[in-house]
Each structure stands twice: as C-alpha cells, then as structure tokens.
Amino acid sequence: MSDPWAAPGLDTGRLVSWSIPRIACAGCCVATAVMAVLRGGWWWGISVATGALVVGRAQRGLIDDGIVGVSFVSRSRWTYVRGVTRMSDTHLRARGETRFRSVRLRHRGRFDMSEKKVAADASLATVLERVALGPHSRRVTWHVASASLRTVMCLPVDQVTPSGWEDDPDAWRDVVPWSGEDGHWAYETWRHLRTRDGVVVAFRVRDVGRRRTDTSLLAALAPFGTSRVATVTADVVPGRRAGAVAGRHVHRGRANAQVASLLGFRRRAESTDIARRVEQREHAVAEGHALLRVTLWVFVIQHHLRDLEDACAALLRDAQAASITLERGDGRHALWTCAAMPGAPS
C-alpha cells in the first residue's frame, strides 16, 4: 500500500515534455533580442514578431505560465482547513474564513443538475433571486459526490431552506474534496494536492461544445461509481448592479461590431449568436432574474498516487466524449480547491 504522503519520484518524461518546448521558445526570443541589440534595424521587428508568435501560439501563454509559476513559488505549500458547525451554521477556514448553511437534497433518484432538472425546480431560482436582493455579491454552491450520490447546496446564513431540500449542517463534509474532519492540513505540489486521506487533482471547465449530446454536464463529468466530486459555484450579482453589468456587456459587443464593420471585417455567425444571447440576458435581468457568474469544477480523488494519473486520463476521455474542454490546475490545485469550497468568497 502506497503512502500518499510519500515523496514521489521525479517524472523525467513529463518534466522533459513540459520544459523543452518552453526552453526552445525562450531561446528563440532571447536569440532574436540579442541580435536586435547587436545589429539593430529589422532585427527589432523580428524580435517583436517572434515574441508575439510565441505568446500567441502557447496553449495558456508563456505570460500566464510565468504568473502561475511565480504564485506557486511565492506562497506556502501548506493549507489548513478547519470547519466548525454551530447550530445550523458552519464556520470554515481555508485560506480565508467564511460562514454558510448546508442543505441536502431529498433524493428522488439521480440528481445530476441537468438543465431540465434545474428549470423544473423553481425553488433554486427563488433562492438565487432572494440572494440577489442583497447589497453585495454572494455565492451559492452545489456539490455532487459521484461515489455517494449526495447532492449538497451551501447557502448564505440568512437564507431559508428551499423546498425539496432539508437542513443537514454536516452534509458539506461528505462532498468536499478532502477530509471533512476538523483541523486538517493539505500539502500542495505542482501536479496535485496531498491530503491526509489521499491525493486530489483539480480541473476547471473552460468551454462547452455547441454540438453536445443531451447528457448533462455533471452526469458526463461525474458519473456514478467514479471517485470524483463536481462543484458548481454561482456568484450572484446584486440586483442593483446586475442591470449595469448586463448593459455594459451589450454595449461592448455592439461597439466591437461597429469598429469591425468600419475596418471592413465581416461579423461571424458565432459573434452574432453571442450578441443575441447577451441581449437576451439583459432582458432577463431587466425582468428581475438573477445574474450569475457560474464556474464548474471537477475534483479527482484517489487514495494512492499510482492511481491518480489513470483517473485523470479517464476524466479527460469522458470530457472529450461530451465535447467539454477541461483545464488542469497545475500549480493552482490548492487555490482552486479553496475557491470551490462551500461558502468561498466571490
């Protein structure tokens, strides 16, 4: 049996595959910059073009990689998590402190947070619209544990329990991607997060394909029997700010379209579709609906380090089959895990 706290061996294959392309790109940039300093003239143009090409062609961009690397090196590897339940409220400390209430769904079968289910359950929309009445942006989270089929919603402490849900102050402990016991330390490495119970890898949904099947997002990413936890975080924008935010997005889209038209560029069908949906969102907000900033996270949890990469590869295959693009949180596993915790600040 492997120890999750044991130091893993150096994966030279992954290290070489990650570093060689970046070293080659950096070498090209340095070489052209040196030639520009020594020779001047048109070498300056080549240097600028090479830097722009390298940054533009990188998957996440060399600048983003540098920011992630600096953040990873500069912060502590250790994260302390402590949750204390008092009456119906929970005080949670995880790179910050927060309070929330956790409620558990009364299961009538598999609850997978599909669009049809959410639309059918008006109580969820009512909760979000009540939260939007407040003066500040606040967060509501849904957590689905595929292994136990538990669905938990975490609310601000001043919200009432919606219909179809029941109070369960300790329910959040079953859906967080690490141990729910009080006073727990987690250690972050570049590729994963180590907890007392095993290892965790955080993923974030970057894009959802247009030509998807009818299978819901969470059913595709966290099917029953897998060791995954799917989390939906919804930052509710206050009602008095929501109209301004939605209107600003509409104005930005129209201004960009006008500038593109003046420059002779044709507006793409995709841009037209996005503009139409942005205007629909503005009308919905004007009718009193809540404006949300939604993020979907998936956490792969394994007891042994040797099984972790296979489980991550299986998740990526499931995401590809469902036309979902995932981003792995290398260098940010602790930050992303804390961002998806119940009651995390917006």
Every domain of the chain and the residues it spans: 12-74, 79-238+289-339, 241-286
- Rounded Cα gap, residues 284 and 269, in angstroms: 23
In this structure, are residues 246 and 239 in contact, taking their beta carbons and an 8 Å threshold? no
How confident is the model over 242-299, as pLDDT tens digits?
888 888 988 888 888 888 888 888 778 878 888 888 899 888 888 888 888 888 999 9
Mean pLDDT in residue range 199-220: 77
How confident is the model over 232-244, as pLDDT tens digits?
888 888 877 888 8
Give how far Cα 104 sits from Cα of 6, 169, 209, 258, Å.
Answer: 36, 9, 31, 49
pLDDT given for residue 4 in this prediction: 33
pLDDT given for residue 59 in this prediction: 47
Give how far Cα 274 sits from Cα of 37, 252, 268, 278, Å.
Answer: 45, 12, 10, 6
Tell me the range of 6-15, 216-225, 331-340 where mean pLDDT is highest. Answer: 331-340
pLDDT given for residue 332 in this prediction: 92
pLDDT given for residue 184 in this prediction: 81
Judge whether residue 206 has pLDDT over 80: yes
Q: How much of the chain, in percent, has pLDDT values that exceed 70?
A: 71
pLDDT given for residue 251 in this prediction: 87
pLDDT given for residue 3 in this prediction: 37
In this structure, are residues 103 and 165 in contact, taking their beta carbons and an 8 Å threshold? yes
Q: Mean pLDDT, the chain, as a whole number?
A: 76
How confident is the model over 297-324, as pLDDT tens digits?
999 999 888 899 999 999 999 888 888 8
Closest residue by Cα to residue 148 from 184, 180, 192, 125: 180
Neighbours of 157 (CB within 10 A): 13
The crossing angle, in degrees rounded to 10, of helices 239-262 and 269-286 is 150
pLDDT given for residue 199 in this prediction: 92
Sequence letter at residue 327: E
How confident is the model over 94-120, as pLDDT tens digits?
877 888 888 888 765 544 455 445 544
Q: Which residue has the higher pLDDT, 201 or 52?
A: 201
Judge whether residue 193 has pLDDT over 90: yes
Closest residue by Cα to residue 100 from 142, 159, 143: 159
CA geometry: angle at 329 spanning 290 and 297, to 5°? Answer: 35
Strand-pair category, 291-302 with 165-167: unpaired
Strands, E assignment, the chain: 78-86, 89-94, 97-105, 138-145, 150-155, 165-167, 184-188, 193-194, 199-208, 228-237, 291-302, 324-328
